[in-house]
Chain A
Amino acid sequence: MQTDALLHLNLNRRGEISRRNFLQAASLSVAGSTLLSQFQLNAEELKKEGRSCILVWLAGAPSQMETWDPKPGTPNGGETKKISTQTAGVEIAHYWPKIASVMNDVALIRSMTGKEAAHERGTYHLHTGHRMLGIERFPHFGSVVAKEIGDPHSDIPNFVSIGQTLSSGFLGVQVAPFIIDRPGQLPANVFNNTPESRQQRRLALLSQQENDFTEAGAETLVKEQTKLYQKANLMMKSPRLKAFKFDDEPANMQQAYGKTQLGQGLLVARRLVEAGVPFVEVRTGGWDMHNNVFKGMERRAPDVDQGLSQLLIDLKQRGLLEKTLVLCMGEFGRTPKINARPPVPGRDHWVKNFNLLMAGAGIKGGQAIGKTDENGQEIVDSPVQVDDLFRSMCKAMQINADMELHTPIGRPIKLVENGQVIKGLFG
């Protein structure tokens, strides 16, 4: 991997350390202050130049009819009304007044069309850009971003997820999501009271112990664990850990995002992006509304409405929005026709047409791309495939969508197989 190579190079300049001992190498390099400051410098540079992405994942698949493509007054429309927004001509469902007020910064895609109507498979498709076929496990897009944009020597993870998510697949632990459950707290066990010199002695002995186990036949596991220990040790000393907490936020900031799990998660996401983390996912569940979709929406939407609109305002004020892609979506859509499930009807799985929200990173706000017919059952204008979406995400992140990823057995796979950037999405 890239890290090893770079570390290897750095340390060879200092002499004697073999590639195998790179755990030891890592600890030495931390001790070596020149290298440490060099890492920090790199991080600073990346923060200036690099792009970031915040993915707000609505797990369960939110209804397009109750988000950005309402159809009031039709048999399919149900109780949902539409409201006008900051952008003339763009109307959305009435559950989202605060998003309506920042519409000039937001692009809606109303003509998404997918292939997978089961949660696990849809989640996989919309996170990796690939369908779940065969045995390959494709990486989460966040892992691709972490690999392509993230500083390999970063002292905090290049990909943080607030809530469980997919893994880095065949890209391995180097770019795996660092998962936290409760936003606003430091990661557990990140400190110890061991003096640095003693910690170094321990790590040096550990690295020898690990070498023996490699020779006994556990090379892959040891390699992985060594990487993880190296990262953990960097993280324990990171001044950037404070991004996980709110200590230095003004009092009203937490309020502005909403004192909810999601609101606080989005605030942490902004702090992490500010600290140079290129990819953050924030998850919120409960969108699988087979039953009671209208009441369910009244319950679920306000947290997202508040937090997401505040995130956009905050990023913009800090000058971060132009470099940060914000995505809000779920795994597919919901049946335009209301089902007949007792006790209170809702909407079932539907993948033919659904919608999502994008903003920042060069995306032209104040527009709705694509159109469905009056009953919301057919796309009548500019259908967008998942491949098109991923090409557009790559463009926003300045990643080459045609680059090849290599599976463990060396099979090259294109990051995005087909499709083209969504027309008119970028200004």
Chain B
Amino acid sequence: MLKRAQSNSVVSNQWIILVTLICLFLTTTLAAAPKKKKKAPPLNLPPLKTQEQKMQLLGYIRQSMPIRKIARRISFSSADLDQALEQQLGPAAKSLTKIIDDETFIRRVYLDLTGELPKPARIKSFLSSQNSRKRSILIDELLETEAYARKWARYWTSVIFYDSEANKNRISPIALEDWLTEQFQKGAPWDYITVMLISATPQRNKAVRNDYGQKFGPNNFVLACENKSTELASQTARIFMGISIKCAECHDHPFDNWKREQFHELAAFFHPSTYKMPDPDDPTVKTTVKPRFLLGEKPYETMKSDARRVSIAAYLAYNPKNYWFARAYVNRVWSEVIGDGFYDVDSLGPDSDVIHKPVVNRIAANFRYKDFDPKWVFRLILNSKIYQREMRTISSTSELFTAVRPSRLRPDVVAASIENLTGEDKALNKEIMQVFDMNPSLPQGSLEGSIQQALLLMNNASLQSKLSASDLKKQLVAISADEELVQELYLNVLARHATEQEVERNVNFLKESTQREEAIDDLIWVLINSTEFRTKR
């Protein structure tokens, strides 16, 4: 966690000078008043070698942000969110879908916050609870579980590593996942997490084979980018700002304002020494480029590279004009839980492409006021009506957010749902992860299923034999009343009760079968192969 304002040591004076300096730069560059160049006096920086030292510096910068003073007086509730959104929706608000029932809610919120299905007993107790606040109590409860932290750690790890070309021996996705899990569980603020990732300076330990510092979780963002300045620049913009500027490496952005030079100035931030931009026509000709952040902020001239990485993190998180930072996080979480984003999570073109911009900007601003508390965003969205609406496939932008989009479950969630029924099977788990693989940064609307997925769920031999010998199967075989059997089946596989129609249909199927056990296998097979099984409804 961020240590805030514990100025008891001797070095604190030095720190304060430094912080004032950095803040000065923030404010002067923001004012963008071009002043006459004076030669910068040497800057006596305390050592910034360890992460703790970096964090301490950051803590001071954060403390002095003007934003904190406003924060206490502003509130933004889920009801405010609904109101703001409905206002934006205009005539489309007529097509808002209904609020979901408790059973749909508990499945949805379990999937979103834990990546697991609720157990039958939990479903039943939730349904029978008379507490009018039970939905929001459940949200709070799940946000404190390890499963919540793990699920979202896994998500961000996959965002960071999905397109990484780094050598597998030099990275450790699991170390990153574990570290993120720890952070999410203790409620670490998003700026702190971001800064830890961006400012990491992993060192290779040559004494040990393949030790590139990957065991230390936060080193892995930089390692995923192979510590390349250009990759760090484009991934920082993509993941933490939701801006796609990769193409500006070679030429001015084709449909946005980013210039090629801006990209390289950003890359220069991450370079250990002097950064040189290659000429687009002749790579042997190179021009020196000085680090400059996207909004024009320049680091202190004599700053060393590790301090520069802290400062870029500070520009990213604490410059209130950098609305991209808070908004990128909000938009990613929103896309995951609602099924559509205000914009495609990592390919934002011009800002005018943002749909219902005032709404996402307000959430983002309040996220900042709330000290970038990740759980605050979940509470806000999950308690809102928009999250608790019935699903419908959204086909045009005017319909966005009038319903929740039925979303494909991520590979780890599909694998967990299967494992929940079959028990552990490493080979099967691996196969599911591969066959159901999806890019976490693509919008749900552009994901596709495949024939291989159908073949796996229909035919995979170990899946079929495990299901046939599963606890669920035994449990079902032991039930003699058909209707009760069908209800148990639906509760265990789809985490909901069967409808009257479904009961009738399945009971008939059982009755018409000569082989009861085989018929039960068939019923399990049908639910596993149903679209609903791998969909968040």
**Residues of A participating in the B interface, judged by any CB pair closer than 8 Å:** 116-118, 120-121, 131, 133-135, 137, 157, 167-168, 172-173, 176, 178-179, 187-192, 198, 201-202, 205-206, 208-210, 212-213, 216-222, 224-225, 228-229, 231-232, 235-236, 335, 337-340, 347-349, 352, 408-409
CB distance from B315 to the nearest CB of A (A): 25
User: Which residues of the other chain, B, contact A206 by a CB distance below 8 angstroms?
Assistant: 526, 529-530
From A192, A339, A408, B459 is in contact (CB under 8 Å) with A192
State which residues 490-537 of B face A: CB under 8 Å: 499, 501-502, 505-506, 509, 518, 522-523, 525-527, 529-532, 535, 537
Given known contacts A218-B531, A221-B406, A228 and B393 CB-to-CB distance under 8 angstroms: no
Q: List 10 A-B contacts (CB under 8 A).
A: A117-B250, A188-B455, A202-B526, A209-B532, A210-B530, A216-B390, A216-B537, A217-B390, A225-B449, A235-B451
From A172, A189, A217, A232, B392 is in contact (CB under 8 Å) with A217
Whole-angstrom CA separation of A402 from B170 in the bound complex:
49
Q: Mark B338-355, 1 if CB is under 8 A from A, else 0.
A: 000000100001000000
State which residues 280-312 of B face A: CB under 8 Å: 281-284
Whole-angstrom CA separation of A162 from B284 in the bound complex:
37
Interface presence of B87 (CB below 8 A): no
Decide: A217 and B97 in contact? CB cutoff 8 A: yes
Whole-angstrom CA separation of A176 from B451 in the bound complex:
9
Decide: B449 and A189 in contact? CB cutoff 8 A: no
**Residues of B participating in the A interface, judged by any CB pair closer than 8 Å:** 97, 246-247, 249-251, 254-255, 278, 281-284, 344, 349, 390-393, 395-396, 403, 406, 408, 431, 435, 446, 448-456, 458-461, 464, 499, 501-502, 505-506, 509, 518, 522-523, 525-527, 529-532, 535, 537
From B247, B283, B393, B435, A337 is in contact (CB under 8 Å) with B283
Decide: B454 and A232 in contact? CB cutoff 8 A: yes
Whole-angstrom CA separation of A225 from B453 in the bound complex:
10
CB distance from A166 to the nearest CB of B (A): 11
From B250, B284, B390, B396, A339 is in contact (CB under 8 Å) with B284
Residue from the set B408, B456, B464, B529 with the largest chain A CB neighbour count within 10 Å: B529
Decide: A349 and B255 in contact? CB cutoff 8 A: no
User: Which residues of the other chain, A, contact B450 by a CB distance below 8 angstroms?
Assistant: 173, 176, 178-179, 228
Whole-angstrom CA separation of A236 from B186 in the bound complex:
50
Identity of the chain B residue whose Cβ is nearest the Cβ of A219 in the assembled complex = B393
Decide: A409 and B449 in contact? CB cutoff 8 A: no
CB distance from B327 to the nearest CB of A (A): 18
From B403, B464, B499, B526, A217 is in contact (CB under 8 Å) with B403
Identity of the chain A residue whose Cβ is nearest the Cβ of B505 in the assembled complex = A208
User: Which residues of the other chain, B, contact A219 by a CB distance below 8 angstroms?
Assistant: 393
User: Which residues of the other chain, B, contact A347 by a CB distance below 8 angstroms?
Assistant: 283
Whole-angstrom CA separation of A71 from B525 in the bound complex:
63
CB distance from A8 to the nearest CB of B (A): 21
From A137, A176, A209, A337, B527 is in contact (CB under 8 Å) with A209
User: Which residues of the other chain, B, contact A120 by a CB distance below 8 angstroms?
Assistant: 246
User: Which residues of the other chain, B, contact A338 by a CB distance below 8 angstroms?
Assistant: 284
Identity of the chain B residue whose Cβ is nearest the Cβ of A178 in the assembled complex = B451
From A172, A192, A337, B464 is in contact (CB under 8 Å) with A192
Q: A178-B451, A228-B451 are in contact. List 6 more A-B contacts (CB 8 A).
A: A187-B452, A202-B526, A212-B499, A217-B393, A220-B395, A221-B531
Identity of the chain B residue whose Cβ is nearest the Cβ of A288 in the assembled complex = B165
Decide: A133 and B254 in contact? CB cutoff 8 A: yes
Whole-angstrom CA separation of A319 from B278 in the bound complex:
49
Whole-angstrom CA separation of A198 from B518 in the bound complex:
10
Decide: A335 and B449 in contact? CB cutoff 8 A: no
From A179, A190, A209, A221, B535 is in contact (CB under 8 Å) with A221
Decide: A205 and B283 in contact? CB cutoff 8 A: no
Given known contacts A173-B449, A218-B391, A236 and B455 CB-to-CB distance under 8 angstroms: yes
Residue from the set B283, B450, B501 with the largest chain A CB neighbour count within 10 Å: B283
Whole-angstrom CA separation of A15 from B408 in the bound complex:
35
User: Which residues of the other chain, B, contact A134 by a CB distance below 8 angstroms?
Assistant: 255, 349
User: Which residues of the other chain, B, contact A157 by a CB distance below 8 angstroms?
Assistant: 451
CB distance from A107 to the nearest CB of B (A): 29
Decide: B344 and A135 in contact? CB cutoff 8 A: yes
Whole-angstrom CA separation of A205 from B530 in the bound complex:
10
Whole-angstrom CA separation of A157 from B452 in the bound complex:
11
Whole-angstrom CA separation of A348 from B459 in the bound complex:
47
Whole-angstrom CA separation of A120 from B452 in the bound complex:
25
Decide: B403 and A222 in contact? CB cutoff 8 A: no
From A116, A189, A192, A218, B406 is in contact (CB under 8 Å) with A218
